Structure 1
Amino acid sequence: MNDPLLQPFSLKHLTFRNRLMSTAHEPAYTEDGLPKDRYRLYHAEKAKGGIGLTMIGGSSVVAPDSPQAFGNILLYKDDVVGWLRELADDVHEHGAAVMIQITHLGRRTSWSKADWLPVLAPSGVREQAHRAFPKAMEDWDIRRVVAAYADAAERVKAGGLDGIEIECYGHLIDQFWSPATNLREDDYGGVLDNRMRFGFEVLRAIRDRVGSDFVVGARLVCDEDWDKGLSRDAGTLIAQRLASSGLIDFVNVIRGHIDTDAALSEVIPAMGSRSAPHLDLAGDIRTATRVPTFHAARIQDVATARHAIESGKLDMVGMTRAHMADPHIARKIIEGREAEIRPCVGMAYCIDSIYGGQALCIHNAATGREATMPHVVTRSTGPRRKVVIIGAGPGGLEAARVAGARGHEVVLFEAADKAGGQVLVTAGLKRRREILGIVDWRLAQCERHGVELRFNTYAEAADVLAETPDVVVVATGGIPNTGFLSAGEDLVTTSWDILTGSARLGSQILLYDDNGAHPGMTAGEFMARAGASLEIVTPERIVAPDVGGTSYPAYFRAFAEHDVTLTLNLRLDSVRRDGNRLVATFIDDYGRRTVEKSADQIVVEHGTVPLDELYFALKPLSRNLGEVDHAALLSDRPQDVATNPEGAFTLWRIGDAVASRNIHAAVYDALRLVKDI
């Protein structure tokens, strides 16, 4: 096959079976700081899916004074070796290579974690993102950390991995490189030769320990895109010096700086950003260094990845978030099933959820749950069932996809004229229209599995019963919740009204966001860009607390461009009319007072209330009376509740038909219930 992506690539003694890789990232799947079974299964799935190289351990730390920022692997523990060996053996068994990224976080962590040691850095320059005030390293700190790198590399080699990548962007080594963070006046500061001294000491110590045959590379920033930091010329020179030293075997190119959320969102671009924004820089570094070059930054589709290799810009192309959405990309290309690849929609839920405890794909609930959830749904060996689903939002479509893949007869009712549910509302903001990929992929899968889709059908109990179903899944979602107001519910506009265009925009608008997630921010950006004078009010102490660090900067940029006012700590109680204006009364819980604000239009985002009439109409007729056995659900056993033996079918409700949540919750509900039918 002549596909550039499927050509093997040799690096020293290694030969990768193709040019696809997953770059190092930390999904926060460690246990006790070790890459145990969950971590292993996550990477083994990519190997099963045909990837050439998977890198584990984004920011695996080499010393106790580099404590975990988000579940990092602790390479300073000797017992890490056995777990690395199990992971490496599993990945190798499925034909892929595996490396690990090692680092000292420097100032990019917190002193109040783990052993409460001072955070280290070249100089006492605070990082805004992690907020620690670091200690400027002394000579004995430098010697100790250099030795820790070498010790960690030795453990990696003993663990049977194929190589290491040294992290040099935003972490300790390039904190020495950058004039923004290195203010030293000794032999490790000042001119570039001095600023590179620490990094070279680390590399030489590693080489002395692992030998010349072991693969060692660097993920390095080649342009900090910052007037205080490394210029592109300086970054290119650093890459050239590393390459000419003979100490590294590959470079993995990064552009930007990550000390603020706004900057990080440029390094790891999210939804609405242009594709592969740093690819040309990576190609220039490859030309300048003449060493194998890797790169990943919003290369989320096969066509872009193919171009990156075919054009000679890269030797290995990172599709990291894309492999979280679908770990079987290579296999599907090989088998001529490229159209079946589950798309990465760039929502950044994976990255943003790390700080919540674990990385999750917005619409692949099997990622990170490989021990219990299938990436490939297999056909049932039992009798063919009739499955009726009501609602064609993400949850309903997932239920239909999974039931169809199991080989069952599936009918899906949808009241609207097309599928999507609340995803269609979100897509009302042009910047977020990629999210429609969640719907489009499932529609294609439903067609493939013979699911019967009935649009423009408001299903009632009689319609469902007429199908004589064995299983009924109610995925009817919810409607905007305005019932929390003590008065004036009929006077407010909802975020749905705004994004769907069913309400005209006022000239002066007050948006009350008591959801704290994407819906309110999406409506706010829409109104700001439409030219409204906008004030966003929240009862929280920060705006949008449930929107992650790589996602909120895009909203805030729009708010800054359009002079949006942000007001905290006010809880909306009621709305009344005053002439042709509306007056909102807020409660200030801290000041123990009421505050009034007037506007032409008051828009409310307070989540949804379930559309559950159909569920409750069907409940007494069902075999399980709607009950879900939580013990079975959590231990991955099929549901077998039969509290009403006279019932004709099993009934479940999922997603927002249960309670206001998000896309991932709806998809996960559907997968873990329906996969065992």
Structure 2
Amino acid sequence: MNHLSAGQTSGTSVDPLLSPFRLKKLEFRNRVISTSHASMLDESGMPLERYQRYHEEKARGGLAMTMIGGSAMTSPDSSWGGGQLNLSTDEIIPHLQSLARRIHQHGVAVMSQVSHLGRRATAYAGNWLPAIAPSRIRETRNRNFPKEMDEADIRRIIRDYASAAVRCREGGLDGVETVTGGHLIGQFLSPRTNKRSDSYGGSVENRARFGLMVHEAIRKAVGDDMIVGIRFAIDEGTDEGSDFDDCLALARLFEREGHVDFFNCIYGRMDTDLVLAEHNMPGMFQRSAPFLPQVAQFRKETRLPLLHAAGIRDVATARHAIRENIVDLIGMTRAHIADPEIVNKILRGEEERIRPCVGATYCLYKKVNCIHNPVSGRETTLSSTIDRAASPKRVVVVGGGPAGLEAARVSAERGHFVIMFEAGAKLGGQILVAASAAERRDLLGIVDWRVNELERLGVDVRLNTYADADTVLAEDPDVVVVATGGIPDMDWLEGSELCDSVWDLLTGALPGKDDILIYDGTGRQAAPSCALHLARQGKGVCIVTPDDALAVEMPYPERASFRKLLSELGIRTMVDVKLTKVVRRGNGLTAIFRNELTGAETSLVTSQVVIENGTIPVEEVFQDLRAGSANGGLSGVFFQDSSHDSLSVGSPNSGKFSLHRIGDAVSSRDIYSSIYEAYRLCSRL
């Protein structure tokens, strides 16, 4: 199919995203898809209820296709230890059939990735089989030394690919895609990982041989009607590997052989956390849609239909990619984790109500939980549809951070009359502090979306209002939700009065001095963000942590990106040391540490000590209200304990209010915890 004619539509829709597209006999109702990814929702490799409901939610949301089975294993020696669909056994077929029926009933196509990990597999979990690869070259990220494949291995794996594709066909799926990149076919294609001197190595034709044989076997096994594509690296982004020209030559070989129906374009490598973050799964540290220019160039040189998904976070960018004929189908995979209703909202004229993907990569850390969509990955226990309450109540929310914003939004969606008190001049709470860092500015989308929703829902928001117990009680509430957050935890440290908080430095409330020590007691984003912020001002910065490495409590893309930037800016680091005391000596400060491994004491002289050690709950109003509440402030809903289900008390006729606290008003946690807690509480009020 010529890609220029493929882009033509029979409709007259003004919005290119909503135009249909035909691929062989398969008709896509629009151009928006979700590509394959490892959701970790399978049960022993089977796509059961949780897995199916997760994908069905996207189908309900109106997209054209959802792709399942990120790194789905074709062979027993293609396991990384769990979290993959197991396409190496017929046991999966009835589950695929169930999933396909659920997706198809919404008019949506479904395909699966079929892949062998090669050297990316583990030898120390799953089936405990040795990893295999074209050559004995260890991958940095997955750390296995592979066995070099012989002819028997090659023949077996080719058969396994074909058998896996047949299981997908018998499971009722519309198609399959293989993967190059860092997976086995890509390991054969790349001169970085293929050092063979036989007919599978050396020249472009030889390096392509294994992949061509795989696709020939798949096509013979499934027939001409089933869609067969390839997730194809168009440039490895390194001098040692396949550059654009080499990848283009490889692509033309696949086109010439005629067994592939589309290219799903990816960029770069995936053999370290850093290149995964910068190439395959660009997050907060990369600009939106970073590889569209390279895909556009690939488009000019090839003829098969193209798919692409990499940092396509917003509808405007997706629309541009289709309008300019860069691709035929655009993947908004993480954007659909944030909001599976993207297409339906476009159709309803509610594009401004799409919950934005902010690129936080939380979904890669706690798969597939979105940092601000608490339903994603929990479709069997939470509903994205917020039903109206049988009897509206007066709900007072104290605090306008992420927990309070979500509590107010969900309560208002339930039909309750909601009043929100916020002590500050702006809504957002600690997100405003986090977004002071350049790399994390997009977190403001979490706040902005909810502020807009509160305006739409008519929530009574009262800024610059410090709400004490009397203020709350004056509103005659039926329900009070305390979401007052926390303040920096400094009191634990002897000499804390000599120190400043990360909040003060990030927001500019206090200036940074020339020589600064930052103590990171959490492993989260705040301290490294502050270090980068100050180093860019020309300050000398040393960051210290009691953990065995920096940034241990982050998604791996952020962890790698932070460490890279810290290194580039020459920021000194110390690990395995706990700050125990700060004393003033002369014009400077001496920070005293205890080594977490040996107990040895060391010290460091600096001009300023900045502390990040989580937060202390701000709980005064909660404690003042407890005695007068119907439930004593106990929220049994969080423990799923019906004997202590405090949501059943505090009705308007009881003469008392029910009281709850959520988020950092309970303990120091993260944005997701606050929003999830607010949702599961208030969706039942």
**What SS does the corresponding residue of 2:384 show, helix, strand or coil?**
coil
Q: Which moved more, 1:578-587 or 1:636-645?
A: 636-645
Q: 1:81 to 1:253 in 2, by over 3 A?
A: same
Partner of residue 287, structure 2: 274
Structure 1 segment 232-381 matched on structure 2, within 5 A? 232-267=244-279, 268-353=281-366, 358-380=367-389
- Is residue 623–residue 641 contact of structure 1 (8 Å, CA) maintained in 2? no
**What SS does the corresponding residue of 2:218 show, helix, strand or coil?**
helix
| Pairing partner for 1:208 from 211, 220, 233 | 220
| Pairing partner for 1:386 from 390, 394, 414 | 394
The runs of 5 or more residues in structure 1 that have no matched partner are: none
Structure 1 segment 211-222 matched on structure 2, within 5 A? 211-222=223-234
- Is residue 299–residue 305 contact of structure 1 (8 Å, CA) maintained in 2? yes
Alpha-carbon shift at residue 344 of structure 1 (Å): 0.4
Partner of residue 98, structure 1: 110
**What SS does the corresponding residue of 1:60 show, helix, strand or coil?**
coil
Partner of residue 54, structure 1: 66
Partner of residue 84, structure 2: 72
- Is residue 434–residue 526 contact of structure 2 (8 Å, CA) maintained in 1? yes
Alpha-carbon shift at residue 106 of structure 1 (Å): 0.7
Q: What is the distance in 1 between the residues matched to 2:629 and 2:671?
A: 27
The runs of 5 or more residues in structure 2 that have no matched partner are: 1-12
Q: What is the distance in 2 between the residues matched to 1:647 and 1:656?
A: 29
Q: What is the distance in 1 between the residues matched to 2:71 and 2:393?
A: 47
| Pairing partner for 1:193 from 190, 198, 205 | 205
**1:666 paired to 2:654:** no
Q: What is the distance in 1 between the residues matched to 2:175 and 2:470?
A: 62
Q: Which TM-score applies when normalising by structure 1?
A: 0.97
Structure 1 segment 594-633 matched on structure 2, within 5 A? 594-630=601-637, 633=640
Partner of residue 148, structure 2: 136
Q: What is the distance in 1 between the residues matched to 2:49 and 2:387?
A: 23
**What SS does the corresponding residue of 1:364 show, helix, strand or coil?**
coil
**1:410 paired to 2:418:** yes
Q: What is the distance in 2 between the residues matched to 1:637 and 1:20?
A: 45
Q: What is the distance in 2 between the residues matched to 1:642 and 1:426?
A: 37
Alpha-carbon shift at residue 272 of structure 1 (Å): 4.0
**What SS does the corresponding residue of 1:512 show, helix, strand or coil?**
strand
- Is residue 550–residue 563 contact of structure 2 (8 Å, CA) maintained in 1? no
| Pairing partner for 2:498 from 470, 491, 498 | 491
- Post-superposition Cα deviations, 1:530-580, rounded to whole Å, max 9, x if no partner, equal 221111111111111111221123322321222111111101111100111
- Is residue 635–residue 644 contact of structure 2 (8 Å, CA) maintained in 1? no
Q: What is the distance in 2 between the residues matched to 1:432 and 1:504?
A: 20
Q: What is the distance in 2 between the residues matched to 1:657 and 1:416?
A: 16
Q: What is the distance in 2 between the residues matched to 1:271 and 1:636?
A: 43
Q: Which moved more, 1:172-181 or 1:287-296?
A: 287-296
Aligned partner of 2:665: which letter? A
CA RMSD after TM alignment: 1.7
- Post-superposition Cα deviations, 1:462-490, rounded to whole Å, max 9, x if no partner, equal 000001111110000001111221x1010
**What SS does the corresponding residue of 1:423 show, helix, strand or coil?**
helix
**What SS does the corresponding residue of 2:63 show, helix, strand or coil?**
coil
Indicate the percent of aligned positions where both proteins have the same amino acid: 45
- Is residue 236–residue 242 contact of structure 2 (8 Å, CA) maintained in 1? yes
| Pairing partner for 2:546 from 539, 561, 570 | 539
**What SS does the corresponding residue of 2:557 show, helix, strand or coil?**
coil
**What SS does the corresponding residue of 1:79 show, helix, strand or coil?**
helix
- Is residue 6–residue 17 contact of structure 1 (8 Å, CA) maintained in 2? yes
**What SS does the corresponding residue of 1:283 show, helix, strand or coil?**
helix
Aligned partner of 1:271: which letter? M
Partner of residue 482, structure 2: 474
Alpha-carbon shift at residue 647 of structure 1 (Å): 6.4
- Post-superposition Cα deviations, 1:45-81, rounded to whole Å, max 9, x if no partner, equal 1110100011011110111111135511111122111
Deviation beyond 6 Å, 4+ runs, structure 1: 634-638, 643-647
Q: 1:507 to 1:308 in 2, by over 3 A?
A: same
Alpha-carbon shift at residue 526 of structure 1 (Å): 1.2
Q: What is the distance in 2 between the residues matched to 1:512 and 1:109?
A: 37
Q: What is the distance in 1 between the residues matched to 2:146 and 2:17?
A: 43
Q: What is the distance in 1 between the residues matched to 2:344 and 2:673?
A: 28
Q: What is the distance in 2 between the residues matched to 1:224 and 1:183?
A: 16
- Is residue 650–residue 656 contact of structure 2 (8 Å, CA) maintained in 1? no
Alpha-carbon shift at residue 116 of structure 1 (Å): 1.0
Q: What is the distance in 2 between the residues matched to 1:67 and 1:554?
A: 27
Structure 1 segment 513-528 matched on structure 2, within 5 A? 513-528=520-535
Q: What is the distance in 1 between the residues matched to 2:643 and 2:248?
A: 51
**What SS does the corresponding residue of 2:36 show, helix, strand or coil?**
coil
Alpha-carbon shift at residue 196 of structure 1 (Å): 0.9
Partner of residue 229, structure 1: 241
- Is residue 584–residue 598 contact of structure 1 (8 Å, CA) maintained in 2? yes
- Is residue 170–residue 257 contact of structure 1 (8 Å, CA) maintained in 2? yes
- Post-superposition Cα deviations, 1:390-449, rounded to whole Å, max 9, x if no partner, equal 010111000000011111100000000010100000111122111000000000011111
Q: What is the distance in 1 between the residues matched to 2:628 and 2:453?
A: 31
- Post-superposition Cα deviations, 1:515-535, rounded to whole Å, max 9, x if no partner, equal 011112211221222221111
- Is residue 301–residue 322 contact of structure 1 (8 Å, CA) maintained in 2? yes
**What SS does the corresponding residue of 1:462 show, helix, strand or coil?**
helix
Q: Which moved more, 1:629-638 or 1:382-391?
A: 629-638
Partner of residue 550, structure 1: 557
- Is residue 121–residue 131 contact of structure 2 (8 Å, CA) maintained in 1? yes
Q: 1:72 to 1:578 in 2, by over 3 A?
A: same
- Is residue 7–residue 19 contact of structure 1 (8 Å, CA) maintained in 2? yes
Q: Which moved more, 1:262-271 or 1:245-254?
A: 262-271
Q: What is the distance in 1 between the residues matched to 2:391 and 2:307?
A: 49
Q: What is the distance in 1 between the residues matched to 2:159 and 2:646?
A: 54
- Post-superposition Cα deviations, 1:355-384, rounded to whole Å, max 9, x if no partner, equal xxx32100000011112222232322x111
- Is residue 516–residue 540 contact of structure 2 (8 Å, CA) maintained in 1? yes
- Is residue 493–residue 603 contact of structure 1 (8 Å, CA) maintained in 2? yes
Aligned partner of 1:412: which letter? M
Aligned partner of 1:466: which letter? A
Alpha-carbon shift at residue 673 of structure 1 (Å): 0.4
Q: What is the distance in 1 between the residues matched to 2:80 and 2:427?
A: 42
Alpha-carbon shift at residue 643 of structure 1 (Å): 10
Q: What is the distance in 1 between the residues matched to 2:265 and 2:132?
A: 25
Partner of residue 448, structure 2: 440
Aligned partner of 1:286: which letter? R
Q: Which moved more, 1:540-549 or 1:555-564?
A: 555-564
Alpha-carbon shift at residue 590 of structure 1 (Å): 1.8
Q: What is the distance in 2 between the residues matched to 1:454 and 1:636?
A: 36
Q: How many residues align?
A: 671
**What SS does the corresponding residue of 1:535 show, helix, strand or coil?**
strand
Q: What is the distance in 2 between the residues matched to 1:643 and 1:531?
A: 56
Partner of residue 427, structure 2: 419
- Post-superposition Cα deviations, 1:570-603, rounded to whole Å, max 9, x if no partner, equal 0111110011111111111322210111111111
Q: 1:336 to 1:22 in 2, by over 3 A?
A: same
- Post-superposition Cα deviations, 1:277-304, rounded to whole Å, max 9, x if no partner, equal 1112222222322111000111111111
Q: What is the distance in 2 between the residues matched to 1:371 and 1:426?
A: 32
Q: What is the distance in 1 between the residues matched to 2:637 and 2:352?
A: 36
- Post-superposition Cα deviations, 1:483-529, rounded to whole Å, max 9, x if no partner, equal 221x1010111111111111110111111111011112211221222
**What SS does the corresponding residue of 2:22 show, helix, strand or coil?**
strand
